A and B are shown apart, each in its own frame.
Chain A
Amino acid sequence: MAGGLPKSSESNTSTYAGLGALLMLPSWVMIGFFLVLPVGLMLVYSFLTKEFRGGVIWEFSLAAYDQFFFDRGLFGDDPPVIEWTYIKIFWRSIWQAGLATFFCLIIGFPTAWFIATRTGANKSIWLFLITIPYWVNLLIRTISMKFLIRDNGPLNEWLLSLGIISDPIHMINTNFAVQLGLFYSYLPFMVLPIYASVERYNFAFSEAAADLYASRLTTLRHIILPFVKPGIIAGCILVFVPSLGAFLAPDLLGGAKNFMIGSLIEEQFKGNAGNWPFGAAVSMILLSMVLVVLTFYARQQSKGGVR
């Protein structure tokens, strides 16, 4: 295979000349096998006819997308109106993921700044401390969180014993609990990329700005933030995208009362619904949305490159 390729005489790295395609092979196989193939399969399935109790019939059908966008009443024979159910489920997931991203940013940025401005060994210790909780499985950590915040859990008992509250605060099975779970799960994904950006920041810029009578706020807005922006955007994406499909926190801490995108998809495959094409269609719609977010990121990045 490699021998068949024309030898590139222009290349100044003659050592690897002609080997390029061969060296790329593993990545192409990986991308093909783990990305293109499954996503392609999903795309195809979303346009097939559903088989009762799971499975597909190999006939083209738009029924899955129709179900997503049009409501035909409880018995399926009313005139179609816009279906808000799934849009609502999407909106709930987006809202919660957005909120989690916001909180992670508010807490994560100062944290990353703090760590990046430590010296020598201290820095490593702080980074190490950030990663420690992640040696434990996410499921275990989420369940532990549930134990901590329940009505008669340690947090409430502590507050009660201090006399700060007179009745336990009800936190379990609320949106607050879901937020707490998402925030706790994904905080390091915000801290680490921002840390990487801040670490490269040359503090002489801040000094120069101060010499030119820039206030601290101005320095932050016009000097620091533009510099660490790639880290912030990367952090936001790393928190937002997994939060969007999260189901552990909503199920365990939120009580699974309302579908999130993740649990809606799961229900199509594992629940009574057994509607594979619809599950595939919802996945495709989610995928398109994530793609839009990532395109936005890529454009931001390329703008940064021009600067």
Chain B
Amino acid sequence: MKKLLKLGASALALTIAASAVHAEGKLSIYHWFEYMPQELLDKFAAEYDVEVTMDTFDSNEAMLTALKAGKMGSYDVTVPGDYMVEIMAGEGLLDTFEPSELSNFGNISPQWVDVSFDPGRHSSIPYQWGTTSFAVNRDVYSGDIQTLAIVFDPPAELQGKINVLDSQGEVIALASIYLGIPQCTSDRDQLRALNDLLQSAKPHWASFGSDTAKDVLVSGDAAVGMIWNGFSAKAREEGANIEYAFPKEGYVVWMDNVVLLKDAPNRDNALKFMNFLLEPENAAAITNYAQYTAGVEGVEGFLDESVKSAPELNPPAGGKGQFIMACSQDVQAVYDKIWTDLKK
């Protein structure tokens, strides 16, 4: 028993010693899957002599859950979407900084500085932005695709061949846009109409899937796929004859942001990293990898030709993009019920 105790004590001492070493020279990132080129992390690690570790998540909500379930204090930065920045700030999970602490702050595109979810950018910087709508296989359907009816009231040729994102927020936002009702409405007739629309659309859907959204289009399992624009561009590059739609009723616009977490163990390195990502060359490297759009000025010279001309990344003038809104608890409860009823 005594031996055991001694062993325990020395193990404890070892852990403490190990954690004392990392005072300087570390950075811990919590990030989306497939969203950060390894070369860029290596470059940062080499330039600033920092040991970088990265864990990944697959949805904003999963990230929030992990942080709330006890991961706060172990990561320095994470990458929430627009509405999630607001939620995290409201939950007190974010630290703040002064723009003067980032020498590259001025590189941020003017339109992305004073954003509704973080006015004046005191907790976040832009990472990439993009849109969510859907792509259609042009071998299967040659008609007009610039309407959300393709997903919610599909023509006969496309019925039963549709994959939708397995994500409550995006499906309900697009359905609301199709109906022309405001997001987070508490009007009961509008909510009933939303419920009816989804119930009547579901029989035409073949599957729900987010991480499979690209593969089902490439393999031909689905002829229509609700998808993010960059993912759609990748599917096209992998050989699918698909066209990404900017529907006339509107579509979802989102922006992912790097935020500074409260209790970040390496706050200085986190700020260095955020500043690093605001370098046009580095922001462009992410765009070339993920095929979304940087929120930084001066990236054009560093972009691949194929990315610059990708139709998915160039919304038409006058396109009606909407950010997803974070709803009140009452409305969210109705949304949860609608979603569960849809998948029961």
Contact = CB atoms under 8 A, between A and B. Distances in A.
A1 B3 CA distance: 13
A256 to B, nearest CB: 4
10 contacts: A1-B1, A54-B64, A85-B344, A151-B221, A173-B206, A256-B343, A259-B340, A270-B65, A272-B332, A272-B335
Interface string B38-73: 000000000000000000000101101100110000
Q: Which of A151, A269, A271 has the most CB of B within 10 A?
A: A271
Contact of B207 (A53, A89, A147, A173): A173
A1 B332 CA distance: 54
Interface in A260-278: 264, 267, 269-275
Contact of A270 (B62, B169, B188): B62
Interface in B288-341: 329, 332-341
A69 interface: no
B221 A89 contact: no
A25 B245 CA distance: 63
A303 to B, nearest CB: 39
B205 interface: yes
B192 A74 contact: yes
Given A151-B220, A255-B207, A272-B169, A55 B332 contact: no
A251 B343 CA distance: 12
A76 interface: yes
B78 to A, nearest CB: 15
Q: Is the interface of A mostly helix, strand, loop or mixed?
A: loop
B103 interface: no
6 smallest CB-CB distances across A and B, nearest first, come from: A255-B207, A256-B208, A272-B168, A270-B62, A85-B344, A273-B336
A88 interface: yes
A172 interface: yes
A257 B343 contact: yes
Interface of B: 1, 59, 61-62, 64-65, 68-69, 87, 91, 163, 166, 168-169, 188, 191-192, 195, 202, 205-209, 212, 219-221, 329, 332-341, 343-344
A53 B59 contact: no
B301 to A, nearest CB: 40
Nearest to B66: A270
A53 B191 CA distance: 21
A134 B209 CA distance: 26
Interface residues of A, number: 35
Nearest to B208: A256
Contacts of B333: 76
A192 to B, nearest CB: 32
A252 interface: yes
A152 interface: yes
Contacts of A75: 188, 191, 334
Given A172-B221, A272-B61, A74 B337 contact: yes
Interface string A147-182: 100111000000000000000000011000000000
A152 B343 contact: no
A89 B337 CA distance: 14
A258 B206 CA distance: 11
Contact of A74 (B91, B191, B329): B191
A274 B344 contact: no
Nearest to B1: A1
B344 A255 contact: no
B344 A89 contact: yes
Given A74-B195, A85-B341, A85-B344, A255 B206 contact: yes
Contacts of B191: 74-75
